Structure formats: structure tokens, C-alpha cells
Amino acid sequence: MSILLLCALLLSGCGSTKDNNAAETNSETASVETVSVTAAAESEVTEMPVSEQETVVTVPEINEDFTTGNGCAKGRGKALASVCDDEFASDGKALKIYHRIESWNGADFDAEAFRGNTIDVTGSFRSAASAVRVSIQYSVYGSACYVGVFTVNTSEDKYSSGSGSFAIPANAEKIVLYIESDSLDDIYCDSFSVKVSGDYRYLPEAQELVFVDTSSYPSLKELYRDDFLMGVATTNDMLDTEDYCGLIKAQFNSMTLGNSFKPDSLLDRGATLADLDKYMECPAIKFNNVKKELDFAKENGMTVRGHTLVWHSQTPDWIFYKDYDPNGELADRELMLKRMENYIAAVVTWADENYPGLVSCWDVVNEAADDGGGMRKSLWYQTVGEDYVQRAFEYARKHAPEGTKLFYNDYNSYQTKKQKDIIDMITPIIADGNIDGMGMQSHLNTDVSVSLYMAALKRYAELGLEIHVTELDIGVKRADGWKETQGEYFRKFMEELLKAERNGVNVTSVTVWGLNDCLSWKAADLPLLFDDDLSRKPAFDGVVQAAEDVNAA
């Protein structure tokens, strides 16, 4: 006999479920709508009286207007979060998130109780930062992942709201929703709510994830051996899971460290502040985060794409300030050029000395073009000026070992207007002889025109650039047949890429941005080749089929 869990639909202020014995609930709950859920495991306690077998589970909800306190919000990282009076807030009170030293510092909301459910999240924010992001963090099998739920464009003197939905995997642990922004400005939150969409599924513990045997899968690196490298983005945590390691080794011959080589992972604020004189012209750098992934690549004969040296995101704001004090003045051009050159020199030299020949290319500058046109007005742009991209490539060429390929990397780089802006930006760098390749990130979805993409790819190649598809993932809407729709898109995309390459377009590497959907940075869009348990999706079969078809033709 199964234990029945009687789930009373009560509202809980803090997103946590409360387990009570049904016998203890008073008659008031009887008027509340209830649902019964069969427990996952068969009960061995068959003789238990009904009243003791029933558990009332409060359906979790977060519904904060911050009139009476923080609710369940906590400061994230070094940030503090506390309720304040705020004339702009609808009810005169808001949660103020401040003392943000790194851009990821913000506010956390425990979301453990929503495991295995689809949630609808809404929030209302104001900030001098131009955008505030709500994301979710969780781990699956010890691998952490961070997924955006929605972004709100914000201004200082009025609140703007946004909303988004997310299906939290049943295997997720340590589930936290958080508020952050790229800049260090204070964030005010007038309201924040999280509701379960549809029927509540009560999963007090993460469901075990049992990986399938992947050893019989055809190998992508073998299928594409004569055409281009096949790569994958990794994280440190992933390499603790044998099944992931096995699949990576079997399928890929190139690796991109998905986060570990980024400035926020390398820069050491504490050491920098402890000796300002020593570090004034280059913040302190620590390399402990990259070794595990680089050792793995080396041991398995893979090459590494270095990602990334100069970027506006995942780069702490404090490096742009005189004396590294974000409350002070921005550093001037001369100082920022020194910091840029010294940083680039230190990173590429360290890689060369410690892992000679392993990092075959660098994304020297990432995402410098603005979606709205022209160049992104990042802190690099503000402090150095519009030649910062050109200078970065000059320094990279000067300090990188001979033969290292230097790439510009961006998303939506297939879009006509953005492509024009990118080409305008890199044309002088091509003339300087300081750039070798174009990295097309390729975070796509099944609505993107493959022919538009391929036309853009050819145009970059015509500039004499080598092409890398650097961060391929293809999102799809959850509708009937979504897996097949996505599989067909992957097939077509890879077929066209192969044909272009065989027709002389210099495509030399294709990297997928992760292994299984639940750990993708776009987990909601299910954009990768493997299911959570590493089953091959039609997406994987599509990539296999493209190579087989083109080879057979």
C-alpha cells in the first residue's frame, strides 16, 4: 500500500514546505483545497493507521512585498540585504541590496522546496544599473549551474517589473534563486514572488540521477576528424563525475573552460588590496581554478580554447577603479591600458609556461559589439576608449607564443546589423595582422535561419579569418515533438557547416556549450546534445547523421 501525502494548498511565506501530521491539522484545513499524491516508494508500514500515514505538505510560495521585513531574502556573497523606506516603492518599503563588491553579489532566496516543479517568478526592481537579472542556481550530482530566469531593464527613479518561468530538475540540490546585476550599483526590490505552476510535486530530496551507458555512441571527434575539431565547454565540478569524463573523452578533442579562465575566476581582490603598490598596474592573479580542467585536457590529448581575456561580464568592476575602490574614481586610460596589457601578458604567459602548446587559441575580446548597434559602452570602453579592442589584440599578439590563434568572439554575430558592427570593429585589427579568427558563439534556437547564419559565416571567412563555432547550443520550445524538431535543426546546421567547410570556408572548430541539458546555462531551453542522464537526444543523432550523409554523398 502506498502512503498518501495529502497536500493542503496553503501559502507559505518563505518557499519552504512544512511537514505536519494530518492528524494535527485542525478542521480549518479541511476547507482548503487538497490534493493527494502517491509517495514514490511503496510503504512497508502497511499496518499504520490512516491518520498517521498522511502528511500535510504546504505548497511553497514566496510572496514578498518587504513591508514587514526581509522575508526570506539574504545577502549573496559579501552583499547585504535589508528593508528600507523607499519613496519610489509602491508601499513605501523595499528590500535594499547593497555593499556589492562583485557583480554576482546580490540577494538569495532559498528555493529548495520547489524542486521538480515549474515555477513562475516575478520581481520589481530599480537600480542605477541598466539591468537587473534574476537567475537560479542549483547542483546536479555536485556540478553547479547558474541559469538566467529573466532580466529587467532598470533605472534609478522608477520600478520596472519582469517575470519568467523555469522547470527545476527533480535531481537538483542546493536550489537558490538570486538577484544580481553586471554593475555594483545598489538594487532596490519592491516585490518578489515565486509560485508553482500547475500541480505541486512534493520532492523533499533530489531524485537520484542514474547515467546510461554511453560507450556505444558513435564518436563525434572521429566522424568530423577530417573536417574540424569537436569541442565541449566544461566546468571544474563536472570532472568529478566519471560518466561525464568518459563521454567527454570519447566524443571531443577540444575543450573550453566554461568559466574557469574568465577574469572573475582568476583575479584575486584580497591579494590586490593587501599590496596596492605592487598590484597597481595589474591586479593579483591566481591560477588554482584552471588546473583541474587543463590537466584533464592535457592527459586526454585535447586542445584548449582559451576563453576569455577581455570581457565586460564575469569581470569584476573594481579592476576599473583607481586604487581598485569602486566608490572612488574610474582609472584613466593610461592606467587601464597598463592593467590590460599586464593581465593579458600574465595569463597567456602562465598558460604557455605551465601547459606548453595546450591552449591553441584565445578569445582575446568577447562581446564588444552592442545589441543596439555600435560598440557596447562597457567599462573597458568607458575607461580606455573605442580602440580598446584593437589594443587588446595588439597586446595578445605581442605576448602570446608564436602560432597561438587570436579570436574575436560574440553572440548573434550572424545577424546582419551586428555583423556589420563587428566587421567595422575588427577591420583595423585585421589590417594590423593581429587577429586570426572569428568566434561565432552560436547560442541559437530553432527559429534562426540556417541560411542567414551560413551567409554570415562565409562573409567573416572572406575577410581571411578562420571560423570557430565557439558556444553552440540550440534552444527549442517545449511542444509536441520538440526533440525531433531540435534534432532536425542540428542535422541541417551541421550539414550546411560541413558543406561550407568542404567548399573552402575555413571552419576549424565547433564547440558545444555543455554536455547535458540540466547543466546548461540555458537549461530552460534544453539546448544540448544529451539528456540529463546522458541519453543521446535526436540532437546528437542529427550531428552524427550530418557527417554520415555528407561523407556518403
**Binding-residue pattern over the window 390 to 429 for ligand XIL, x denoting contact by CB under 6 A:** ---------------------x------------------
Q: Indicate if 471 belongs to the active site.
A: yes
Work out how close the CB of 21 gets to ligand XIL at its nearest, in angstroms, rounded to a whole number. Answer: 41
CB 83 → ligand XIL: shortest distance, Å?
29
337 or 515, CB closer to ligand XIL?
515
316 is an interface residue for ligand XIL by CB under 6 A: no
Smallest separation (angstroms) from ligand XIL to the CB of 539: 18
Q: Report the nearest approach of ligand XIL to the CB of residue 364 (Å).
A: 13
* Site track for ligand XIL across 139-178, x = CB under 6 A: -------x--------------------------------
With 0-12 CB in 10 A as exposed, 13-18 as middle and 19+ as buried, what is 55?
buried
Q: Decide: 422 and 408 in contact? Cβ < 8 Å.
A: yes
Q: Find the catalytic residue in 64, 102, 471, 501.
A: 471
> Hey, which residues between 334 and 363 contact ligand XIL (CB under 6 A)?
none
CB of 441 to ligand XIL, least distance (A): 6
DSSP secondary structure letters along 277-315: HHHTTS--B--TTTHHHHHHHHHTT-EEEEEEEE-SSSS
Question: How many residues are given for the chain?
Answer: 553
Q: Of 61, 180, 293, 367, which one is the catalytic site residue?
A: 367
| CA distances to 172, 365, 538 from 179, in Å | 19, 27, 35
Report the run of H or E that residue 275 belongs to, with start and end.
none
Which is nearer to ligand XIL, 72 or 177 (by Cβ)?
177
* β-strands 254-257, 229-234 pairing: parallel
Helix (H/G/I), strand (E/B), else coil: 240: helix
Q: Which amino acid type is present at position 474?
A: I
Query: Which residue's CB is nearer to ligand XIL, number 219 or number 313?
Result: 313
Contact between 527 and ligand XIL per CB under 6 A: no
For residue 439, the minimal CB distance to ligand XIL (Å) is: 9
Residue window 254-293: x/- pattern of binding to ligand XIL, with contact defined by CB under 6 A: ----xx----------------------------------
Q: Does 366 bind ligand XIL (CB under 6 A)?
A: yes
By beta-carbon proximity to ligand XIL, the closer residue of 8 and 347 is 347
Instruction: Tell me if residue 367 is catalytic.
Output: yes
Distance between first and last Cα of the chain:
59
Contact of 234 with 248, CB cutoff 8 Å: yes
Cβ at position 146, least distance to ligand XIL in Å: 4
Instruction: Answer yes or no: are the C-beta atoms of 96 and 86 closer than 8 Å.
Output: yes
Q: Is 441 in the site for ligand XIL (CB under 6 A)?
A: yes
* C-alpha span between 145 and 141 (Å, rounded): 11
For the CB of residue 314, give the shortest distance to ligand XIL in the complex, in Å.
Answer: 6
Residue pair 106/185 in contact (Cβ under 8 Å)? The answer is no
Nearest distance from C-beta of residue 47 to ligand XIL, angstroms: 50
**Residue 181 sits in the site that holds ligand XIL (CB under 6 A):** no
The CA-based angle 63-66-68, given to 5 degrees, is: 105
By beta-carbon proximity to ligand XIL, the closer residue of 54 and 293 is 293
Q: In the 8-state DSSP scheme, what is residue 155?
A: B
For residue 355, the tally of other CB atoms under 10 A from its CB is: 16
What's the Cα-to-Cα distance from 399 to each of 268, 345, 356, 425, 497, rounded to whole Å?
22, 5, 14, 22, 33
Q: Which of residues 19-78 bind ligand XIL (CB under 6 A)?
A: none
What sign has the CA pseudo-torsion 508, 514, 520, 521?
negative
Peptide bond into 17 cis (omega under 30): no
Q: Which of 497, 484, 494, 475 is nearest to 537 (CA)?
A: 484
Nearer to ligand XIL, 511 or 545 (CB): 511
Window 482-521: contact mask with ligand XIL (x via CB under 6 A): ---------------------------------------x
CA distances from 513 to 76, 261, 472, 520, 547 (A): 27, 15, 5, 7, 20
Closer Cβ to ligand XIL, 337 or 379, answer by number = 379
* Number of residues located near ligand XIL, criterion CB under 6 A: 8
Residues of this chain that interact with ligand XIL (CB under 6 A) are 146, 258-259, 366, 411, 441, 471, 521
Active site residues: 367, 471
